[in-house]
Amino acid sequence: MRIIKLNAIDSTNSYLRRLSNEGRVENYTVVTAKYQTQGRGQMGSTWSSEHDKNLIFSVFKGVSWLDKQHPFLISMVASLAVLKALQKLGISKLSIKWPNDILSENKKICGILIENVIKQNGLDSTIIGVGLNVNQTDFENLPKASSLKAVTGIVFNLDEVLHLILDELKHAFEVLKKGSYKALKEEYENYLFRKNKPSSFLDAEGLIFTGIIKSVTLEGSLQMLLEDNITKEFDLKEISLMY
């Protein structure tokens, strides 16, 4: 495993993508940085982090063997890997907020950004970016943010947390490669935040509505129960969960 440690970079995902474009990159090549100037999250959002207090890294993985119809399985694998690593660190009340934010006690401690590379009309590789709040405790104007230290009161070693997550990520990809799609999906749904609970959602037109999360498809759509017992699927661009 090759780990590239940087002091500061625009984005570890962008750096790793440039590296992969320049030549062959080995599986589980990792780029980690103490600080990002242009950290990115889902749907074009930004990711802000105090210098050298949190874990910011990206991992390259070849996935040419994965069905191009099911790229969301990568998101499931990454979410479960981070969650299981945090369980081993004693972090309490963990859940996955669709599609792949990790919460502890209903507060966000980790965001994951998946960027897939398509070649010859099929999946070729993926870059998994992880931003994990570790030792930062001041989240000004972010009342729904938290960190490992805020939850436990413990100062964590960033390298130890990184290697624990990477070990879990390797194991999860091994399960995925065996074709255990159903088992991964069920496990992901077991940790799904607000599952089977009435919740508020915001649609693309700015309207708020109530629904109950029932499941997630292999394609990543959220299956919800609406009024009058109507079941409907929504993708990431259509709705966001309010909490």
Q: Taking residues 14-28, what's their average pLDDT?
A: 91
- Whole-angstrom CA distances from 177 to 74, 80, 160, 173 are 11, 15, 26, 6
Q: pLDDT (tens digit, 9 = 90+) per residue, 117-152?
A: 998 889 999 999 999 999 999 888 888 999 999 999
Predicted pLDDT of residue 152: 96
Contact of 155 with 43, CB cutoff 8 Å: no
Predicted pLDDT at 59? 98
Query: pLDDT tens across 69-95, in order?
Result: 899 999 999 999 999 999 999 999 999
Q: Which of 164, 155, 116 is nearest to 134 (CA)?
A: 155
The pLDDT score that the predictor gives to residue 38 is 63
Please write the tens of the pLDDT for every residue from 29-60. 999 998 887 655 544 444 456 778 999 999 99
Task: Please name the residue that has the structure tokens 């960033």.
Answer: 158
- Relative to beta strand 3-9, strand 30-36 is parallel
Tell me: the pLDDT tens digits for 158-173?
Answer: 999 999 999 999 999 9
Q: Helices marked H in the chain — which ranges?
A: 12-22, 72-88, 148-152, 158-177, 181-190
Strand partners, 113: 129
Token reading at 226: 């609406």
Cα 81 off chain centre by: 9
Looking at residue 130, its amino acid is: V
Instruction: Give the pair of three-digit tokens for residue 237.
Output: 């661009």
Average pLDDT over every residue of 178-204: 95
Hey, what are 86's tokens? 């945090």
For the chain, the 3-state helix, strand and coil shares in percent, each to the nearest 5, are 30, 35, 35
- CA neighbor of 12 nearest in space, from 40, 37, 31, 26: 31
Token pair listed for 124: 């070729």
Query: Which CATH superfamily includes the segment(s) 3-190?
Result: Bira Bifunctional Protein; Domain 2 (3.30.930.10)
Architecture of domain 198-242: Roll (2.30)
Which residue's structure tokens are 């109530």?
Answer: 210
Per-domain residue ranges for the chain? 3-190, 198-242
| Peptide linkage before 71 cis (omega within 30 of 0) | no
Please, what sign has the CA dihedral across residues 105, 43, 131, 213? positive
